[in-house]
Amino acid sequence: MFILRVCAVTVLFYVGLAWLSPISAEESSGGMVGKQTVGVVVGGMLPVRLTDGQSSKLNGVSAHPSWQMTVTNPIGNEWWSGSIALGVEVALLGIAEPTGAYGVGFTPKAAYTFTSFGRLKPYIEGGGGPLWTNFQGRIPEQGSDFNFLVWGGAGVSYDLTTYWALNAGVRFSHISNADTDTPNRGINYMLPFAGVSAKIF
């Protein structure tokens, strides 16, 4: 609950700051390379069981502070025109069911943001990386505390101002130890999320 309260206060703080800066004219389609963004998304973990061996219902809260940099100008001139960004994200998992547990990790990430819809910017994203947990002896599907988190999803960003945006979307996430220990049946969850982001450079 502490993590959830901190994340909620953080989101409200940044949303409040967004209203201090008036909305300016839309950025030109060029010159996006090198633009950097920081943000945070928070969501509730909803269990997804894909095999009979995945018996646990993983419920909890997940928060993901992130940084990313745009590495291409918009590609193409159609509705699917967009830019590619690369970055890194921290994963903070607070699990309530099937037992109290946590996970802390980081994942390199990639995102493709559609840029032809004005202030509304749909995107697809994904990433993967190491996850340190206390799952051993708590989560029957996983036999070790060292695991990996792999995720992918889609969302939409809405520019409130030149610098601030709101985000919402959903992700599918998978946790396993890549057969470095047994058992390794894997855990899956969906993450509906909301958050804020700010352009810093």
Reply yes or no on whether the pLDDT at 53 is more than 80.
no
pLDDT of 31 reads: 63
CB 193 within 8 A of CB 157: no
Q: Binning pLDDT at 50, 70 and 90, where does residue 51 land?
A: confident
173-197 pLDDT, tens digit each? 999 998 888 888 888 999 999 999 9
Token output for 171: 């992700």
Reply yes or no on whether the pLDDT at 7 is more than 60.
no
Distance separating alpha carbons of residues 173 and 154, to the nearest angstrom: 12
Token output for 38: 């920081």
- For 8, 17, 22, 56, 106, the CA distances from 130, given in Å and listed in that order, are 26, 33, 40, 21, 6
Looking at the chain, how many residues does it have? Answer: 201
Question: What's the rounded mean pLDDT across residues 161-176?
Answer: 96
- For 86, 94, 99, 132, 156, the CA distances from 57, given in Å and listed in that order, are 32, 14, 10, 20, 28
Closest CA to 3 of 75, 93, 114: 93
Q: Binning pLDDT at 50, 70 and 90, where does residue 136 land?
A: confident
Question: What's the rounded mean pLDDT across residues 41-49?
Answer: 94
Contacts of 13 (CB under 8 A, 6+ apart): none
Domains of the chain are 2-19+52-199 (2.40.160.20)
CB 107 within 8 A of CB 128: yes
pLDDT of 194 reads: 98
Closest CA to 131 of 186, 91, 161, 100: 91
CB-neighbour burial class of residue 25 (10 A; exposed 0-12, middle 13-18, buried 19+):
exposed
Q: Binning pLDDT at 50, 70 and 90, where does residue 35 land?
A: very high
